[in-house]
């Protein structure tokens, strides 16, 4: 049996990342014709076109999408295996790390984390990005180093996760609001005017599902895309915002909160990264600091 050419895996990884022969060739420092020949060999080996033309660009087939996660993990593990173990000198470390999170994370944990990073490794710069979707491709192709997520079935199977903390949903209202004066009944909660948070623009969420189980609905007056927007509206009106407790604690200054009169399960926030960074000493140091600060907070 002929041994497979493992160099093809590296080429396939970059073809799927770039979505073009020219882009992969540029990163590999090869000619486009050489990458085109490699793509032809990959098609023969897999029995699938892998990338097909759609207008002026190439798009992955279903088989290529299935291979993408596996290939990225294999290539990342191989690179880590062939790298020498380096002694990490934090005083001389000069790196940029990109961290993607929902609104509320920086306000809750950012100060302590940044102070610790600057104290231990002054040459490290953190870039916080807003997390507007659940697409994990930014982790896979290296545009993002770490992100926080509620781990579910939509997370890429090759990603590595570490639990940070458990959170729960609470109702939040302005100071002096009638619902901020004591225990809130199910009827009071359902009959209030609500601001609904939907990161994807949807009109219903888990609160609506929980109310429906009791044969009830709530009146949603406004839908916004972030927790901070919901809290800003609730702060200046009689609207009720339902948000994660721990995640938004620093955003709720001088506001009242109450336990939901509903059975809405808590959820666990995790730190997520790609296995290609697993053996990187600097990355390992950073994620350990994130874990420690989140658990302490």
The model's pLDDT over 68-100, given as tens digits with 9 standing for 90+, comes to 767 877 777 676 666 655 678 999 999 999 999
Lowest mean pLDDT among 140-144, 200-204, 287-291: 200-204
The pLDDT, as a whole number, for residue 1 is 47
In a domain, 2, yes or no: no
Q: State yes or no: pLDDT of 276 exceeds 60.
A: yes
208 shares a domain with 222: yes
13 shares a domain with 74: yes
What percentage of the chain exceeds 70 in pLDDT? 92
239 shares a domain with 192: yes
The pLDDT, as a whole number, for residue 157 is 60
Chosen domain end from 52, 81, 110: 81
73 shares a domain with 118: no
CA atoms of 245 and 254, how far apart (whole Å) = 15
Please state the domain count of the chain. 3
Chosen domain end from 81, 107, 122: 81
CA atoms of 117 and 86, how far apart (whole Å) = 20
DSSP bridge pairs for 219: 193
Confidence of residue 201 (pLDDT cuts 50, 70, 90): low
239 in Cβ contact with 193 (< 8 Å): yes
272 shares a domain with 159: yes
pLDDT in tens, 167-189: 999 999 999 999 998 899 999 99
234 shares a domain with 190: yes
pLDDT in tens, 9-50: 888 888 888 888 888 888 888 898 998 998 899 898 888 888
pTM for the full model?
Answer: 0.67
280 shares a domain with 217: no
Segments forming the whole domain that contains residue 96? 90-167+268-296
The Cβ of residue 69 has, within 10 Å, a number of other Cβ atoms equal to: 18
179 shares a domain with 65: no
CATH number of the domain that residue 234 is part of: 3.40.190.10
In a domain, 194, yes or no: yes
CA torsion 14-17-23-28 (nearest 10°) is -20
172 in Cβ contact with 243 (< 8 Å): yes
pLDDT in tens, 139-174: 887 889 999 988 764 566 678 899 999 999 999 999
């Amino acid at each position: 049996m002929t041994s497979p050419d493992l160099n093809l895996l590296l080429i396939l990884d970059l073809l799927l990342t770039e979505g073009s022969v020219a882009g992969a060739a540029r990163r590999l420092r090869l000619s486009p014709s050489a990458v085109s020949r490699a793509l032809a060999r990959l098609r023969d080996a897999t029995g699938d076109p892998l990338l097909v033309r759609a207008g002026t660009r190439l798009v992955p087939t279903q088989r290529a999408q299935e291979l993408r996660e596996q290939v990225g993990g294999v290539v990342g593990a191989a690179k880590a295996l062939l790298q020498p173990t380096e002694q990490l000198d934090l005083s001389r470390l000069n790196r940029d790390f990109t961290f993607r999170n929902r609104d509320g994370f920086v306000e809750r944990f950012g100060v302590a984390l940044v102070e610790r990073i600057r104290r231990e490794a002054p040459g490290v710069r953190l870039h916080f990005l807003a997390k507007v979707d659940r697409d994990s491709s930014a982790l896979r192709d290296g545009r993002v180093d770490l992100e926080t997520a509620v781990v579910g079935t939509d997370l890429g199977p090759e990603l590595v996760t570490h639990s940070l903390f458990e959170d729960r949903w609470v109702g939040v209202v302005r100071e002096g609001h009638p619902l901020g004066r004591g225990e809130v009944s199910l009827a009071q909660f359902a009959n209030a005017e609500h601001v609904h948070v939907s990161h994807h623009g949807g009109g219903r969420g888990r609160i609506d599902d929980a109310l429906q189980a009791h044969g009830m609905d709530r009146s949603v007056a406004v839908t916004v895309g972030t927790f901070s927007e919901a809290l800003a509206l609730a702060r200046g009106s009689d609207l009720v915002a339902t948000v994660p407790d721990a995640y938004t604690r620093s955003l709720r200054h001088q506001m009242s909160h109450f336990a939901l009169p509903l059975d809405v399960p808590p959820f666990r926030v995790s730190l997520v990264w790609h296995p290609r960074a697993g053996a990187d000493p600097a990355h390992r140091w950073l994620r350990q600091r994130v874990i420690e600060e989140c658990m302490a907070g």
